[in-house]
Amino acid sequence: MKKLLLLSLFFIVTTSFYGQTTKAVAKTTKEKAIKETKKTTDKVTKDSKETVSKTTKDSKKTTEKATKDSKETVNKTTKETKKSADKVTKDAKSSIEKTTKPTTKEVKKETAKTIEKSKSGIKTADKVTGEYNGKKVYTGPQGGKYYINSNGNKTYIKQ
């Protein structure tokens, strides 16, 4: 580029000594225009190459970041899903245990019934429906009402 500039400058200087005014001025103006056009073209080409390079780098960075963020989101969502599934499983197990384990009150009632049945010597699956002369009244499977007397026998109540 410098050589071309020096050569053209030398050419301009030498033409002025020989007295060629009109043709030399026309040639130098044309050469200047060509040089300026070439410089502008080279600059635009260089700038466009830099812009393409920068855009490519930026798009690669953006793509890599988006990929990384999406992987992190997937990992986080997976962990949260596992935690919530574990919690649901744990809650389900505890609720099953609560429903299947008898409470202490229920155990005491069953124990009292068993003790009473063993004392009376009569095993019954009848329901307690009330009280008669201080004794529990049971209702049998066919609807008869009775109580257990002091001998351990059933005494039916007339209705």
The structure tokens listed for 81 are: 């899903």
113 plus 146 within the same structural domain: yes
Each residue's pLDDT tens digit, 110-149: 777 777 666 655 555 688 888 888 889 999 888 899 999 9
pTM: 0.34
List, as one string, the DSSP characters of 41-104. Answer: HHHHHHHHHHHHHHHHHHHHHHHHHHHHHHHHHHHHHHHHHHHHHHHHHHHHHHHHHHHHSPPH
Domain count, the chain: 2
Specify whether the CB–CB gap between 45 and 57 falls below 8 A.
no
φ and ψ at residue 81, rounded to 5 degrees: -65, -40
Q: How far apart are CA 123 and CA 113, in angstroms?
A: 10
Q: Is residue 38 part of a domain?
A: yes
Q: Is residue 96 part of a domain?
A: no
7 plus 73 within the same structural domain: yes
11 plus 51 within the same structural domain: yes
66 plus 12 within the same structural domain: yes
Q: Is residue 90 part of a domain?
A: no
The structure tokens listed for 55 are: 């855009």
Q: Is residue 87 part of a domain?
A: no
Domain that holds residue 109: 102-156
The structure tokens listed for 143 are: 């609807």
Each residue's pLDDT tens digit, 82-110: 888 888 888 888 777 766 665 677 777 77
Specify whether the CB–CB gap between 147 and 132 falls below 8 A.
yes
Q: Is residue 61 part of a domain?
A: yes
108 plus 55 within the same structural domain: no
Q: Is residue 15 part of a domain?
A: yes
